[in-house]
Structure 1
């Protein structure tokens, strides 16, 4: 049980989420028996939905030549939906292009790859293989198509750009922000336990590049994703060429950080 905040901002208490066990999906197939033997795969209780900001993402790469921002990327985009502490999930459930064909236009806009060596489809495939098959313990996400549909719905629900803009917090090269002022704007929508993540750029500036939103199994916000050692850095960091380690860290509460604008022509250096 934990206190949660729903999409309208009202606080309430919930139990764990949807029923488990409905692994059969006659449209997209079903995983083999190997999956059912991996009980630790389904032992997770919480997830983290992670959004990334294109204006800051490129600062997280060791090699700036690897970074690109597609022309359609003008807002916060999806990094992933990650069950916490899920282990040994099935590797026998492949994803095919046909699984996301109906969603491809939306995914290309809201979940693009910013790395030149990885196509967006490869990015989605990696996220399904590493995290989606673990999330599939929940009936509403028990196929690639359902998993990505849920992610897109969460992206629409958590419109971080609008939340910030309505509060006068906009991308800027000159004006820095502090965690408390941004946290106070996002908390009514993302819960008190969301995490504002920064990277340190080559001028030693703290740059905002991600926000992590902890969720229960039934996708309500409010549960702390830390405290139990659930996340060690960034679960997806190893899949990004040029990032040999995860430089992401919680933005220091008392140190100003920058919310850089998006520059499609100079993605790594939008502010010089």
Structure 2
């Protein structure tokens, strides 16, 4: 029964879609196709976690020059020539580790979006194609979001993600405020948050990694969203670290940590020739 049942969600009646979004607090294992199809919430699911028990998503943007800093192996990182801006890391429902793996994704699902995805959601790893990056994100996170009507197919999931990327054009916002990439100038979290808060809400998180000089380097921004993609959803903790770390060979712990508010951090420039050593 682990098959192509999730696409049936598109045709579900509003009442059933409502049931699919009711919270559940049971275990995260063993949800089968029938549960997704009919949104069961009775005693049959006592030991199962409902696929739409999550309340918040994180839309995460990464800065390519920062991404390259956390890889242990310098030869792994690449920044395509057409990439000179913030890119999408993912759109992640905040939930447990289990996710329906019964809806595979194929190249034809996103073929019409490929040019835009290649620019705004590229793989920054030499050993992973952009399509495999997208496929991983759909199977690990997108399928969990598919209980929401606007996200209930690979095409819709990636369309919404690209729309959010256009909405949250933080490069433009930062540049207008004089916050630009630099090898010499460092920034403070409160100052950058003040610039971003009117556009991302007060609950966004600025994340850093350490570079080879042991400096805090800006890596990504996490923007919490509710089911209906409005800003400011309350959430506790981080996205599942195990799922996040799987995307990054050459690095064992999950990437990124909140930039310490009292320490300066660097917003490094992009260097396509030396992506991990842009200031050398």
Q: Sort the Cα spacing of 1:158 and 1:73 in 2 relative to 1 into closer, same or farther, 3 A.
A: same
1:103-158 CA distances to partner (integer Å, 9 max, x unpaired)?
A: 00000000000001100000000000000001111000000000000000000000
Tell me if 1:219 matches 2:219: no
Output the TM-score relative to the length of structure 2: 0.83
SS at 1:41's partner residue? coil
Among 138, 143, 147, the residue aligned to 1:128: 138
Tell me if 1:256 matches 2:264: yes
**What is the rounded CA distance, in whole Å, between the counterparts of 1:237 and 1:219 in structure 2?**
25
Q: Would you say the 8 A contact 1:85–1:230 is kept in 2?
A: no
SS at 1:149's partner residue? helix
**What is the rounded CA distance, in whole Å, between the counterparts of 2:200 and 2:92 in structure 1?**
16
1:38-82 CA distances to partner (integer Å, 9 max, x unpaired)?
A: 643210000000000011110111111100000111000000000
1 or 2 for the larger relative contact order (CA 8 Å, sep ≥6)? 1
- TM-aligned CA deviation for residue 86 of structure 1: 4.3
1:178-216 CA distances to partner (integer Å, 9 max, x unpaired)?
A: 000000000011010100000011111000010000000
Runs of at least 5 residues in structure 1 that lack an aligned partner in the other structure? 1-20
Q: Sort the Cα spacing of 1:91 and 1:119 in 2 relative to 1 into closer, same or farther, 3 A.
A: same
Q: Which residue of 2 aligns with 1:163?
A: 173
Number of equivalenced pairs: 246
**What is the rounded CA distance, in whole Å, between the counterparts of 1:51 and 1:145 in structure 2?**
19
Alignment of 1:8-47 (within 5 A): 23-24=9-10, 32-33=33-34, 35-36=36-37, 39-47=49-57
Q: Would you say the 8 A contact 1:89–1:133 is kept in 2?
A: yes
**What is the rounded CA distance, in whole Å, between the counterparts of 1:50 and 1:230 in structure 2?**
12
- TM-aligned CA deviation for residue 87 of structure 1: 4.4
Q: Which residue of 1 aligns with 2:20?
A: none
Q: Sort the Cα spacing of 1:127 and 1:25 in 2 relative to 1 into closer, same or farther, 3 A.
A: farther
CA RMSD of aligned residues (A): 2.0
Q: Sort the Cα spacing of 1:32 and 1:24 in 2 relative to 1 into closer, same or farther, 3 A.
A: farther
Q: Which residue of 2 aligns with 1:12?
A: none
Q: Would you say the 8 A contact 2:94–2:240 is kept in 1?
A: no
Q: Sort the Cα spacing of 1:234 and 1:172 in 2 relative to 1 into closer, same or farther, 3 A.
A: farther
Tell me if 1:236 matches 2:244: yes
Among 175, 199, 210, the residue aligned to 1:200: 210
**What is the rounded CA distance, in whole Å, between the counterparts of 2:244 and 2:122 in structure 1?**
14
SS at 2:144's partner residue? helix
Tell me if 1:49 matches 2:59: yes
**What is the rounded CA distance, in whole Å, between the counterparts of 1:135 and 1:110 in structure 2?**
20
Runs of at least 5 residues in structure 2 that lack an aligned partner in the other structure? 1-6, 13-31, 41-47
Q: Would you say the 8 A contact 2:62–2:89 is kept in 1?
A: yes
**What is the rounded CA distance, in whole Å, between the counterparts of 1:153 and 1:86 in structure 2?**
26
- TM-aligned CA deviation for residue 247 of structure 1: 3.8
